[in-house]
Amino acid sequence: MKKISIISVMLLGFMLFMPNAAAATDELQFCVRTSAVWQFVGYGLLAVKVLVPIIIIVFGLIDFAKAMTSGDDKAIKSAASSLIKRLIVGVVIFFIPTVVDLVFMVMDNFVGDLSAADACKTCLLSPTNSECNRYKNQAESLRKEGEFTGGGQASGNGAEEIRGISNDLLRL
């Protein structure tokens, strides 16, 4: 449940900043600059989508094995209800990318042209896509040109780059 609320907060934050970022597409390129972050979150989402079914199967087998060895009907019913709850959570997790895509479609209808958000959407929903790597390379070239941190030369220091992104967000 905590993972779902973290994703909800991220989407809400994105929705709050996106209208301004879309208006200043050429100037800030927020999604391109943060494409590595979106890709990281996308890889996490991909890992969760792979691991959740495995965990559900393993825990379901363990619960039913314990229930069968105890021979208690109440334990078997408890294991079955626990498996059903886990299956529901697993299905909800598989719908997260669909919900994210829906959020992007709704934002596109309200904001207008969301081509600035393509990097966010691509890297979040398809982190292994070559298009996401192209956005990361584009962000790296912006960083090397000094445009990444508001015109100053990028030092290669992670803290400086985060400060630069923060300054760009404050200018929104």
pLDDT of residue 26: 46
What pTM did the predictor assign?
0.62
Average pLDDT over residues 143-160: 55
Q: For residue 168, is pLDDT > 80?
A: no
- Given a cut of 80, whether residue 3 has pLDDT beyond it is no
* CA neighbor of 31 nearest in space, from 143, 130, 114: 114
What's the confidence (pLDDT) of residue 163? 61
Q: For 82-103, what is each residue's pLDDT tens digit?
A: 999 999 988 888 888 888 888 8
| Alpha-carbon radius of gyration of the chain | 21
DSSP conformation class of 149: B
pLDDT at 12: 53
What pLDDT digit, counting tens, does each position of 99-124 carry? 888 888 887 777 766 677 788 888 88
pLDDT at 62: 92
What number of residues does the chain have?
A: 172
Q: How many CB atoms lie within 10 A of CB 164?
A: 21
* Structure-block tokens of residue 101: 């895509």
Find out whether 75 and 67 touch, Cβ atoms under 8 Å: yes
SS3 61: helix
pLDDT tens-digit map of 9-52: 555 555 545 544 444 444 457 888 888 898 999 999 889 888 98
Residue of 58 and 121 predicted with greater confidence:
58
**What is the C-alpha to C-alpha distance for residues 142 and 130, in angstroms, rounded to an integer?**
18
The mean pLDDT value for 62-67 works out to 89
How many other CB atoms are there within 10 angstroms of residue 137's CB atom? 12
Other C-beta atoms closer than 10 Å to the C-beta of 61 total 12
For position 34, what pLDDT does the model report? 86
Neighbours of 84 (CB within 10 A): 11
Determine the Cα–Cα distance for residues 22 and 29; give it in Å rounded to an integer.
8
